Structure 1
């Protein structure tokens, strides 16, 4: 019988309940595929997030670019990467946040990059 991933510590489970919980967040992020929406997001992030009915908790996660929290709130990583593309944020920075590591440690430990200095 497969192990229940809900029992793995610090691993958000993206299941039907997570999908429903993250619907507004994912819809907002997917809309960033359109140039007009990216412009609106950059011009007034608060208004853009409000337009999609995000909760205060969801807004705070997006505004602070807390990738781990967005996933915890039901964000699908493939959708919230659209937010990263607006800034732009390197995908390795998101990977580091998901792993709970500094960006430099992530590059060194997970990708085998040499340390600077």
Structure 2
């Protein structure tokens, strides 16, 4: 995808990555519509195919690999729309992003007592 990210393990949402993630972001934004949420719930692969996602993008969405969705150009604010269908706490997504379990993330990154 061009030059490597300037901050290790931190995908920068630059123009190139933004263009790459257009289809995935468009798909995720569509989940704001209740009709689309129902279509997504009924048949996720078919819903993803409507937006022309690559196999790599589809796998990231179907496995809820948040870190990979972002690496592939997903805008966090858009991919969070998936949580309207498949509820997950944002802190769980944060833990996934830094390869930590949820309790460790809450304790070590947010200073919460768990």
C-alpha separation between the residues in 1 aligned to 2:48 and 2:96? 22
C-alpha separation between the residues in 1 aligned to 2:57 and 2:111? 33
SS at match of 1:7: coil
Q: Which runs of 5+ in 2 are unaligned?
A: none
Aligned residues: 111
Q: TM-score, normalised by structure 1?
A: 0.91
CA RMSD of aligned residues (A): 1.2
Residue pairs, 1:73-92, within 5 angstroms: 73-92=72-91
- Higher alpha-carbon Rg: 1
Residue pairs, 1:42-57, within 5 angstroms: 42-57=41-56
Q: Which runs of 5+ in 1 are unaligned?
A: none
Runs of 4+ that moved beyond 3 A: none
Shift of 1:85: 2.3
Q: Which structure: greater helix fraction?
A: 1
